[in-house]
Chains A and B, each alone.
Chain A
Amino acid sequence: MKKICLFALAALLLLALPLPAYADEPAKYNFASAQGDKELTVTPGGEVRGDLYFYNIDGNRITHLNLEVGQAPDNWEVAVEPPLSETQVLISGLPVTVAENLYVEPWELLSEEPQTVPEGMVSIKVPGRGYTLGKLAQVVIRVPESVALGSTGEITIAAEASWLGQTGAAAVKQARDFEFTVTVVSESEEFTEVIVGEDGSGTVSTNGATQAAVARWWPALIGGAAAAIIAGVVVSRRRAAKKRALR
């Protein structure tokens, strides 16, 4: 019994060791992001979404994120999901209300892709390091019907990361801009290409089967047709000759 008690005491001491070590560790404010496709396409009157992933594997504080639309073309509707909302946080037991789009808790680095992902989180591959769990924010871009085909719009999302519990005279924040270039394309899924000549006439190409390509085969088609006619004439003459011989 005495041995068991000593063993339990030793185990408790070992478990308790990392706690003061963590408490003594300086605050690490990590702002980590992975941006998906920066070049997006949208149809007139349509909607497109840009992805921003956030994770926190090098920090030891919760990262609170505010995402604002910094720049967008006039008449384009740009919003961030999740939207700005209030989160209730207890800082050393004291309740604090934080206005934020999302927060990212420190998460461990995983050697393999997690099989189960908690609701509201996403699995993020971190190149050369492994996987972790983080949060996804989407930039929702809606363009008006009247927008011209081929036109582009530059969207900037201004992100600000902050950390609670800073008691000094100056609080530390990080900021980062995320840019998207959105090109307006035709609603038609069919690929078309028109080369406009000097006289204004155009050669239309549809799904690669172009009129020009068909035109390239004309000599072969004409040759084949000529050959068929010649063969027909020869055969008919031969038949006529056979008939004459039978008479």
Chain B
Amino acid sequence: MKKLLISLAVVGVLVGLMAAPVMAEDVGEVGKTASVTVNAYKSVTVTDNGSPGLDFGSLTPGTEDEPEAASPSLTIAAAVENNGNVAVSIKGTDFSDGGSNSFDIENATWNTSDETGSDQDMLETYAPVGTLPASTSLSIYHWLSIPGGQAAASYTSTFTYKTE
């Protein structure tokens, strides 16, 4: 009986010694991957400070830098819930009467201040305007020139503000 007990004790110690390193690895620190998706919120409001749409009135050919009816023309605001900055850029389409008459979009200009000296031409491709963190806003001023000899008609364009 004594021999049996001693044998079992030896066996127990042997198994314990061999299993201990493996057990230690299993009960040690284990890295678990945690994942979560945070939705991207982006809300931008363009306030049209004058009458709806950008209004330059009735102009004569050769007019230069006629300001839009409202000053500033637009106010672009990023909402409080945005969880990232909003990059604002701007582009426009050529002015057209829907028929054969048109003039280049470069005759329209923009600025974030009311100074025409540093205004920039509108382009058919996006040009950067600025970056808006949440709860901030910027103002946009617009001017329009009419080429000399431009045919009399009602011209329209579309100004697109990319807010991403």
What is A's interface to B at a CB cutoff of 8 Å? 26-39, 53, 55, 57-59, 126-129, 160, 163, 165-177, 216-217, 219-220, 222-224, 226-228, 230-231, 234-235, 238
Name A171's contact: one of B37, B56, B83, B156 (CB within 8 Å).
B156
User: How many B residues, CB 8 Å from partner?
Assistant: 56
Contact A174 B39 (CB under 8 A): no
Name A230's contact: one of B7, B42, B80 (CB within 8 Å).
B7
Instruction: Pull 13 A–B residue pairs with CB atoms less than 8 Å apart, ordered by A.
Output: A26-B49, A26-B50, A28-B46, A31-B163, A33-B42, A34-B41, A57-B43, A58-B43, A168-B54, A169-B53, A172-B53, A172-B161, A227-B15
Contact B158 A128 (CB under 8 A): no
Contact A34 B40 (CB under 8 A): yes
Contact A174 B22 (CB under 8 A): no
The verdict on A168 contacting B160 (CB below 8 Å), with A28-B46, A227-B14 known, is: no
Q: Is B25 an interface residue (CB 8 A)?
A: yes
In the complex, what residues of A have CB within 8 A of residue B162's CB? 174-177
Contact A173 B160 (CB under 8 A): yes
Name B144's contact: one of A28, A129, A169, A238 (CB within 8 Å).
A169
Q: Is B100 an interface residue (CB 8 A)?
A: no
Contact A171 B159 (CB under 8 A): yes
- Bound form: Cα–Cα A127–B42 in Å: 11
In the complex, what residues of A have CB within 8 A of residue B157's CB? 169-171
Q: Is B151 an interface residue (CB 8 A)?
A: no
Contact A129 B80 (CB under 8 A): yes
Name B163's contact: one of A128, A176, A222 (CB within 8 Å).
A176
Binary contact track B1-35/A, C-beta < 8 Å → 1, others 0: 00110011011101101110010010000000000
- Bound form: Cα–Cα A216–B23 in Å: 10
Contact B46 A127 (CB under 8 A): no
Contact B44 A31 (CB under 8 A): yes
In the complex, what residues of A have CB within 8 A of residue B144's CB? 169
Q: Output the nearest chain A residue to B77 by Cβ-Cβ distance.
A: A58
- Bound form: Cα–Cα A59–B7 in Å: 85
- Bound form: Cα–Cα A163–B80 in Å: 23
- Bound form: Cα–Cα A115–B3 in Å: 76
In the complex, what residues of A have CB within 8 A of residue B46's CB? 28-29, 31, 172, 174
Contact A223 B43 (CB under 8 A): no
Q: Output the nearest chain B residue to A165 by Cβ-Cβ distance.
A: B52
6 tightest A-B CB contacts, nearest first: A168-B53, A166-B53, A227-B11, A32-B43, A168-B55, A223-B18
In the complex, what residues of B have CB within 8 A of residue A34's CB? 39-42
Contact A223 B14 (CB under 8 A): yes
In the complex, what residues of A have CB within 8 A of residue B12's CB? 227
The verdict on A175 contacting B161 (CB below 8 Å), with A27-B52, A58-B43 known, is: yes
Contact B51 A220 (CB under 8 A): no
Contact A176 B108 (CB under 8 A): no
Name A32's contact: one of B7, B42, B164 (CB within 8 Å).
B42
